[in-house]
Structures are given as C-alpha cells and as structure tokens.
Structure 1
C-alpha cells in the first residue's frame, strides 16, 4: 500500500473519569501535566513540549475509558481527502462536529469496535502565560519539573476483538502503516503497532481478553530519558499511586516503560523509546510469534495477568 501523508500526528485523547477531581489532581500534581483550560464537562491538559492547546481531554462521566481519539491532518486539503476516503469506506461515519477549546471543526467516524475517532486541521496553538513562558523560544512551555513532567503525548493502546479488522480500519481511514505485530499460533493477530509518520508507533491495538467493547488499554506520554521514569516511580510510590508493572523494557518496540492506574482506574504509561525512528519508506513489519512473546519482556520480566485483562471501562459481570 502506498504511504499516505494526509495525517500529521496523533493529536489528543479524550479520557473519561468518574472521579474527576481526583483524576485531575493526579494528572496535574503527580503525573505533571499542565491545565491549559477547563469548562463544565472537561479539563484540557498538556505536556510541557506539546505545541497544541491540549493533548489530553479529561471528561466527567459515569464511567471510565476513552471518549475519542483525535489526529491532526497535514492540511485542509489533506483533511478533505481523508474525509472522502472514510465516507467511501464501509466504516461508520458520525460526521462533522464543532471543535472545543483546542481546535476547530472535526470529522468523526467509528471503528468496528466502538472507538470514536476524529480528524481536524484548524488547531489552537498553546500560548504560555507569563509564568509558563520558556527561556528558549523553540520550546512550547517552560520545563517546570512538577511531578513526573513528561515531555509530550506519545501513543495510546486500544483493545479490539479482531485486531486484523482494526488494522484494515487504520490503513483505510488514516493511512497508517504497521511497524510491528504479534502473530498468534491460531493465525490471529494478537497485536499491531501503527504509525502515520516516522515515529515507531502512535497507536497500538491488542486483542480484547476481558469481554468488553470499545475499551481503552492505556494512554502514554513520553519522557526525555529513562532516568525520568525511574524518578517518576518514586514519585508515584510516595503518592500512593498503583504501579502495575515496570520500570522495564518492552521487547516489542524497545520502549522503556512504567505502567500505573490513575485514581479512576484508567491505565496510563510513561515511556521512553530513545532515538528510534522508522525512516525506511519500505519498512516491513516485524512479526513476533506467540512463543517469542511468552518469553516476557526484553530483559525477562513476565507480563502480569492484569495487563491482559484490565481495560476501561470495566466489564459488567453477569448478574451485577
């Protein structure tokens, strides 16, 4: 498939929380994001070197999980080319919606598993107030060093019953390409890692094992160094945050990671992938076997059970 350059980058993720005040306090004071705006329903958050107004939209809700996933197009013309491709596809179209504090009108559509996506062009660039103005004019915001202080939004991981079908959706609607994947012994795809630029990945999809639909596995922000993640682990420990697994290094993508649950139960990650980029235009996806994955992570850490079963929103058990 010929590469598409219509989509520029992953722009933001909307996360639902049923413990809004606690989640907001965590993301600002402990995780280290900056609150750039707020309305009655949502708080708009950013890492210190994100150029857009927000990269995380934290929304009050009756449950947890993901509200929508947003990508920014490369231009107004590129946006309309993608809209045409999506409208001509088999996938569900929601249509145009008004923007919010962070961007203009957006075109929404849905994958076969209930995840809502949007693409847009017109955006609001972050203008730091005096107390957040950086000394270096090529930075979006000053390096504040508060909490874990991640640098930028990196990626998210969604859960789907059929990863192969999700792959077709990503290739058709966003022009994404696969950089790495897991091929299970039964022939199914256990996971796919997608990119729309030269990053190693901006979205991953892994197989749903909890019986849910349209669920979120995790949202990830990137740090400058591995040492930032080690420091963050101590910060999370001292603040009573549930550390699920790590710090450690993934075999797939080679990402140094730390996973935790924010107060409402959504899984979030801090990650550092070093300087690894996918520069080859004819990159062939790296395929991992089930046996290789059962060996654990890069340095031998076994993947814990909750990493396969925990997603948000939680699945209602029969009889409850």
Structure 2
C-alpha cells in the first residue's frame, strides 16, 4: 500500500563527493552561480538563490566521486515520525543523528540499493547578509551576478540494481508517486520517475547496466529559463567543462536539458521543467516502450552511450 503523499515536503539538499574539491567549488559557484555559505572540515556549504533553507548542496572532498546522501524534509514533526516508523516497519536500517547544514534531528536510512537518505523536519531559514539582500521581500536572496544563477536543486537520478524494488520503497514507505517509466520488451522496468510534490519528478531510478548498486547517475539544477541553459553551454565551452549531451529536449517529462561533468567527475544536469506540473490526484503512470525510446529524445537526438555506462563512483 502506498504511503500518504504529503509527509515528505520536498527534496531539500544533497551531499556530493568530489576528489577535486576546489575545482568543484569553482564550477558550482562560477558556472552555476551558487553561493558559498560556510566550510567545515572537508565540506563546503552552498545554496541556490531561491532556496528558503540555508543549504542546497554540500560538497565534500573525498578520494572518489558520488553522492553521499540525499536529504528530504518532512512536512511536520508528526509526518517525520510517521515516515521513520514506516522505515522501521519496512525492515530498513536507520538511526537518529544530529542534523547538518542548518537542519535539526535527522533520521539516517537508505533505500534497498544502499543510497543514503536523510529525513528531517527542523530547519534553519536563510537570512541573507546585507550584500545579498534581494530587492523583493518574497525572494530569499539577490540573484547572483556570476554564472547562470540556478534557482533550485531540482531532482536526483540514481542508478540502481533493481528499479522496481527501490521505487516501491519510495512509494510505500516515503509517499512518492510514480509519473513516468520505461518498460523493456522483456517486461523489465528500466527507469521510473517519482515525485513527492506537484513537480513531475523529484527522484528517479535508472537501471545500472553494470549490475552494480548504490551509484549516482546525476543531480539536476533548474535555472529560470531555456536561455540560461544555452548560456551555461557557452560558459562550459569557454571554461573547458566537458559537455556530455544536449542542449536538447527529453521525450520523457519534456525537460529541456544539458548534461555536463563537473570537475570531480559527477554528472550534472541543467534542466528546465518549470512549466510542467502533475496536478491530477489520479495521474496514470505514462509508460514508454523500448521501441519508443529507440527513437531518441523529443527532437530526435539519440541517447549517448555514456548515458548508460557513466556513473559515480566510477567502477574499477
């Protein structure tokens, strides 16, 4: 049985590992336009300009790349306790810990594939210093004057050994709902998009063709417009940032996209799904066939081979 939707308010922040901490900080601040808010040990705290919370992204220096943790904010203390109880009843391991990046008591658990998930409710709202105060009081901080100025962390796309097992956990334990999926001719579900909100997706699982578990496909940030994504492509070309594919438009979810590798090796998507919402409470899952996916993206661009093979951490 699916858990009630609404206990998880939204995707809050992620902790990304990088073997090139200084270069990764440069990419996220100078190309994407995030604001650095603090440092602690090997970690650097960053935020998008329209995030009401203090932190959107934690960059942590590490021997390899990948995603250490995805954080989800509950909609209330009662909702947090209900989801923690559901996690415990599902048999997944977990424990309480102090929060990071301005968050309160946090329950750490993982999905069936081993991706770490942090659940919390208490949080610190961001207060901009004088030099970053916005002109409009309903905006957390002024728009940055560097890079493209992404508005928010949009979604996480995991690689998984078993797509259905992981998305079932998201649905039955945390209250996500599926919106679109890919079904191969064998009947296997090779990708499924889920949402906690009225956005068309927040967390995606794609089959890891290597058979591995616990890896990351990409994290995505949303700027204001398609023009920002085109400008990002120019900035990447000018500064030697590797562009994997795009700009183009996905068929699934109709997202305008650009995929690049940040200096630490993690795949980053710039996406513009801002106009597409799933408002129907009885939304039927849209299923794409193997033949339909073979046609490529919305305007015919073929899916690049590395899209199925590159993930972080990289395999030996």
SS of residue in 1 equivalent to 2:147? coil
Cα offset for 1:213?
2.1
Q: Does 1:192 align with 2:172?
A: no
Q: Which residue of 1 aligns with 2:182?
A: 182
Tell me how far apart the structure 2 counterparts of residues 275 and 29 of structure 1 sit (CA, whole Å).
26
Following superposition, the deviation at residue 94 of structure 1 comes to 2.4
Aligned residues: 315
Residue equivalent to 1:113:
113
Aligned equivalents of 2:263, 2:170: Cα separation in 1: 31
Shift, 1:126, TM fit: 1.0
Give distance in 1, aligned partners of 2:145 and 2:310.
30
> What TM-score, normalized by structure 2, do the two folds share?
0.97
CA distance in 2, matches of 1:287, 1:211: 23
Query: Which string of whole-angstrom CA distances, capped at 9 and with x for unpartnered residues, describes residues 45-95 of structure 1?
Result: 11110111111111111111010111000000110011111110032x221
Deviates more, 1:305-314 or 1:165-174: 165-174
| RMSD of aligned alpha carbons | 1.0
Which secondary structure does the structure 1 equivalent of 2:253 belong to? coil
Q: Which runs of 5+ in 2 are unaligned?
A: none
TM-score w.r.t. the length of structure 1 is: 0.96
Name the structure 2 match of 1:235.
235
Are 1:41 and 2:24 an aligned pair? no
Q: Tell me, yes or no, if structure 1 residue 58 matches structure 2 residue 59.
A: yes
Equivalents in 1 of 2:3, 2:114: separation in Å? 27
Assess, with a 3 A threshold, how the Cα gap between structure 1 residues 2 and 263 changes in structure 2: closer, same or farther. closer
Report what 1:28 is aligned to. 29
Determine the structure 1 residue equivalent to 2:286.
Answer: 286
Q: Which residue is equivalent to 1:260?
A: 260
1:273 is aligned to 2:266:
no
- Which residue in the other structure is 1:171 paired with? 171
Structure 2 partner of 1:79: 80
* DSSP-derived class of the 1:138 partner: coil
1:247 Cα deviation (Å)?
Answer: 0.3
Taking the aligned partners of 2:3 and 2:176, their CA distance within structure 1 comes to 10
Instruction: Give CA deviations for 1:199-254 in whole Å, capped at 9, x if unaligned.
Output: 10011110001343210110101011111111111011101000000000000000
Q: CA deviation at 1:2?
A: 6.3
Return structure 1 stretches of 4+ with deviation > 4 angstroms. Answer: none
Decide whether the 8 Å contact of 2:113 with 2:160 is kept in 1: yes
Gaps of 5+ in 1: none
